[in-house]
Amino acid sequence: MCELTLYVPEIEDLWFRQRLMADPATMSYNANWPVNYEGYHRETGCIDFPREWWADWYADWMDAKPERWYAYIRRGADGAWLGEVCFHHTPEKDWWDMGIIIYAPFRGQGYASPALRLLAAEAFDCGVSRLHNDFEVARNEVSAWKAHLAAGFRDAGTENGVRHFLLTPEDFYGTPQD
């Protein structure tokens, strides 16, 4: 497996996020969610991200650690951007929800778990206490579940048809030996 790094994009690099959000193959996991927000296309899962939204989005997400953080996944061998990772604080749950999207042409190549480990290291280095992700069980996203488990997340159970995964610094780094 080739080395991965995380790259915090400049505003002019957001064309890649726009490409991810507009790609039906990449966003297919997001199709048919029962939500209604501006720019969401239920039939494909794609999300509009027009250039006129970039400045506000960028101001909200950049330089906001530990409240929220965002980066591209970059392959070390050639610098290709493979997807994105992020986290944001969910105070009512006392955890940080995280996300990962691997661009469809790069799926199934073993990038998700290493990218999740890089995200976790970034999160825990800035004081995050718990990373969380969840998946609707009906979607049967076994490859995503396996990637999270391989990165050290633990299955925190299923509630109301949603499977939860959590990762703490102790889970990630291990408990120090006395």
Amino acid letter, residue 117: R
Considering the entire predicted model, what is its pTM?
A: 0.92
User: CA end-to-end span of the chain, whole Å?
Assistant: 34
Neighbour-count burial for 143-154, b at 16+ CB within 10 Å, e otherwise: ebbebbeebbbe
Q: What angle do helix axes 112-125 and 142-150 make, rounded to 10 degrees?
A: 50
- Model pLDDT for residues 82-98, shown as the tens digit of each residue: 999 999 999 999 999 99
The CATH architecture of the domain made up of 4-173 is 3-Layer(aba) Sandwich (3.40)
Mean of pLDDT values over 63-79: 95
Answer yes or no: is pLDDT of 178 > 70: no
Residue 121 structure tokens? 């290291």
Given strand 81-90, what is the order of strands in its sheet? 4-7, 68-75, 81-90, 95-102, 131-136, 162-167, 154-159
In angstroms, the CA 86 to CA 68 distance is: 7
